[in-house]
Chains A and B, each alone.
Chain A
């Protein structure tokens, strides 16, 4: 069930909310929570009921490991045993992830390098496995460190399965979620949260169906034909993907935050206008924040973090980002993407030491272009396909524009221009592509973001949500535009991060 499907918007979500509060009102909270866990498991099993076994087994094992670790805490003589339990727990989680997500990648590479012929497993990646595995690794590590409280299984099950964030995050931390699940205040209807939740939900829906899905059309065509792109087409396709990914993923997150708010649950901030970043470190403080935090807390710092020799710090950064790349998918393109970002962070550290400050616009431009180029590896089917696109983006000798575009330039030019010699067929880089890139690019760069609008991130803005006629009109407009956009499209498109 997709967040942008009518069945979710008109049936599943309203029914889940309604029954949750009815149960809370007429029976005790545990029943309400039980309902929410069941609804979440239904939501997960809607794609493929077979994988319910996997998520339930993973939840049971991790809860058992966590309970065991907590029970034995504080006793020094059991310390070794606790460590073994923790290692076993982590191995269990990584094995699940490794088997379903990376087994075929390793087989493929063994076959390639050792010239063997091992048959691939052809497994279908269970949805959300990367997300719920990471959340639970964090949980058992914190149990080992003895920084978790006693949670009952129902709250734990809700923490893992809570449907608004189950499929593609934000990656939630038990410390953020558990107090909210146990708060009695949160079991009562809160109309302000509902209004805020509905508003941010429709911002997310608009981002997904109106903006991201339109960018997707150009990006998909471009990335499917990287060997035949000209200069403008290649830029059109790469920028389209850069904005598609942002609007798609942040749109999904907005919808997740909105849905969670209906239940009085506040999910963590995951995006904070990442394309406004003026250096790569700044970018990672704004992009997929919950993943960055996880990588920092559970990989970078345990590796030694910044309290080590220069070489080790750089090694730690590189390792963290290569693993971050691998987390997104089993493929060399993701590894390369991780290497690129790791290297950029190392370079940023070195640059920082020179104390040379670039003008903000230049710093922004370099950061944005780096991110844009790196996304090409993230999106391309293969390394060679990514290189083809980058080559086309640099090949100024291969310029060709669509006839409509050409005619418009001639028409609007203040001076008389001769007919261009590089007019080709209709290309990916159409007037509409340019309009979308300019309008929604500018919006990503200049406007307050959705979380600032609902005041999850503090910022002084006149666009801050209030229950006024203006926001009523905006809400109705966003909802109508979104519904109109997916009318006539028999199937809704998946969110990009569903694949990770």
Chain B
């Protein structure tokens, strides 16, 4: 298969957005004190996981990596788990 440039360009765009989101989240986390920073830590981990998924997508399309069975599903579970932790912590914060 020839290199699918459309997929690659879109994936790089998404990846760049993820990176900016991570850096902004890190910055927000730095400005927060005490327990309130915790949801952002989980959010950063969740976005890191989807960034890895995006890199995998780019590398599989470029035939640099061979697709690993169930890797997409495992990454999705990881993302869902950390996003859940972030929301849960934020929810607790609202209750206290």
Whether A and B are associated in the same complex: the answer reads no
